[in-house]
Amino acid sequence: MFGKQPKDSQPSDLPELPDVRRTNLELSELEDIELMDKPEVVQPEVVTIIEKLSGILSPYFIVIVGLFLYQDNFAIGGVLILIGLLTLFKISRKDITEFVANLRNMLNSGK
């Protein structure tokens, strides 16, 4: 009743699909055409303003949540505070690596 029927008893009403394979060159040409045909997305002014506000307020929110969690979980709270402060002061990974390299050079030059 619920078992599979043998394959011989199923009619094959579906037509066979042609083998459509594209080369890398054809695919890259299609991607270039698709990229050229797409119009530029214009964001409404409200969306732009909200993006700017969220960029300003999110580091403060991260620091506040970190301060709240600091008492219960020192590690997570400390990490959130650190991330929030780095974001507030706009310190990037590049700035941190340059600082560490300068610190190493300063400590090695004293020898």
Q: What is the DSSP letter of 15?
A: P
Q: Are 66 and 81 in contact (CB under 8 A)?
A: yes
Prediction pTM value: 0.53
- The closest alpha carbon to 31, from 23, 43, 19, belongs to 23
Q: What is the pLDDT of residues 58-102, one digit of tens each?
A: 999 999 999 999 999 999 999 999 999 999 999 999 999 999 999
Looking from the CA of 39 toward its CB, the CA atoms found within 13 Å total 3
Report angle CA 81, 85, 87 to the nearest 5 degrees. 120
Q: What is the pLDDT of residues 17-33, one digit of tens each?
A: 666 565 555 656 656 65
